[in-house]
Amino acid sequence: MLPYLKPIGNLRRMTRRRTNPDFLNGVPELVVLKLLSGRAMYGYELVQAVREQSGGGLAFGEGCIYPLLHKLEARGELTSRRVQFGGRSRVVYRATEKGRGQLAEAVARWQDVAAAVTRILQGGRHENRSIA
Amino acid sequence: MKTEVSLEGLVGDLVRRGLPVEYAERAVAELEDHRQDLLAEAERDGLPGEAAESLAAERLGNTKTLSRKIVRDYRRRSFAGRHPWWTFVAAPLPTMVLAWAALILTIWGAAEAAKLVIGDWGGPIDLCKPNPPWVHPAVCALLFLIVNFGPTATACIYAWLASRGGHGLRWLTAACLPLALVAAILFFKVESLPGGHGRVMFGLMLAEPVKMLRLFTSPLQLTQLLLPLVAATCIYSWHQWRFRPRLRFA
């Protein structure tokens, strides 16, 4: 079964999972909104951009990007249109104002979670206030 | 080409699983565009024709897996998709009750509005008094519509919900069958009794299971049983026909 979004490289390939690993919940939406806030892209271009800009650390299942794009479009976070270029046409997506707002919230949440996890991993101080 | 055939088959597969045809066509059109891009990339990398096709198909993904994913994600857009048991099993009968309540309120509201506009029109029809011959059948027809409105309107709503939300016939049947069974055991009767009295009766014909089976030999009960099912089937079929697959690959 194809992974939806998988970390590759040093991490174990979870190629048999039906969905993202739990710790990646919400990451595909965050990544897609971030990239499409910068410029409009079509599906193939977006998959390439995720791979390149993550330094090869993340990759979408090629065909699996489309249900995510359609879901975000149904929510009003993306808009799409078919454009012609180079003798062929492609459906191009870009983030809407609502999408940019959702992106800002998601980024803030991600940064909070990442900072909290980092503190724990680096051996954060534990105070047991319940013991007198 | 093999992959084009399988992608074209994907449209039919998505529609069979209950997705709206226009969405299935759109999804597959975009997958075909993506396949073309993967093919162009493989050819730029110097792969020969068949090898490039094969790599593009492999990278795009297995069509069965894609189909499952597309259907699952589409259905989960709505509450009904995320909670099909609540929507299609638990909710139909309460929805039917709400439909009746809405109808009765509408009729009452219309009658009150008519009174304001026309004035007092003499009150409801008195079945005890001699009436024109059309009154009795008209009252029966009105009662038939009222009794069957709840199950039929609810079945139509669920047919629309199932066809738009990609839930397929299985969930639609789960919703409509209880509605049809309730409709079948509903009865109404208008009687003029000796002595100038009359009565209108509504109710549920509940009895031992064997006796209840005999109800279905009555034309009226059979009609009431079939009405919600036929209405739901018509709406679902019309929706599927209206948006039947048109996509063909060159």
Burial of B15 (0-12, 13-18, 19+ CB in 10 A): buried
Return the percentage of chain A with pLDDT > 70, whole number.
75
Each residue's pLDDT tens digit in chain B (250 positions)? 444 547 778 998 888 887 888 899 999 999 999 999 999 999 998 888 888 889 888 899 888 889 999 999 998 888 888 899 999 999 999 999 999 999 999 988 988 888 887 766 555 555 556 666 777 788 788 888 888 999 999 999 999 888 878 787 889 999 999 999 999 888 777 776 665 556 677 777 776 666 667 666 778 888 888 999 999 999 988 877 776 655 443 3
The answer to whether B19 touches B166, Cβ cutoff 8 Å, is yes
Interface pTM (ipTM) of the complex? 0.77
Whether the pLDDT of residue A29 is over 60: the answer is yes
- The helix (H) or strand (E) run that includes residue B189 is strand B186-192
Whether the pLDDT of residue A3 is over 50: the answer is no
Nearest CA in chain A to B34: A44
Cβ of A63 within 8 Å of Cβ of B23? The answer is: no
Mind telling me how many Å the CA of B140 is from chain A's nearest CA?
Answer: 47
pLDDT in the model for residue B123: 55
Any B CB within 8 A of A44 CB = yes
Lowest mean pLDDT among A3-17, A74-88, A105-119, B102-116: A3-17
Report d(CA B71, CA B239) in Å as an integer: 18
Whether the pLDDT of residue A32 is over 50: the answer is yes
The answer to whether B45 touches A56, Cβ cutoff 8 Å, is no
Work out the pLDDT band at A25, boundaries 50, 70, 90.
Answer: confident
- Long-range contacts: B162-165, Cβ < 8 Å, 24+? B162/B18, B162/B88, B162/B236, B163/B18, B163/B20, B163/B235, B163/B236, B163/B239, B163/B240, B164/B20, B164/B239, B165/B18, B165/B75, B165/B77, B165/B78, B165/B80, B165/B81
pLDDT in the model for residue B177: 93
pLDDT in the model for residue B163: 83
pLDDT in tens, A55-81: 888 888 889 999 999 999 999 999 999
Mind telling me how many Å the CA of B180 is from chain A's nearest CA?
Answer: 34
More confident residue, A9 or B148: B148
Mind telling me how many Å the CA of B84 is from chain A's nearest CA?
Answer: 18
Cα→Cα distances A29→A36, A107, A110, B193, B217, Å: 11, 11, 12, 71, 57
Q: Tell me which DSSP letter residue B204 carries.
A: E
Cβ of A43 within 8 Å of Cβ of B73? The answer is: no
pLDDT in tens, B170-193: 899 999 999 999 998 887 777 766
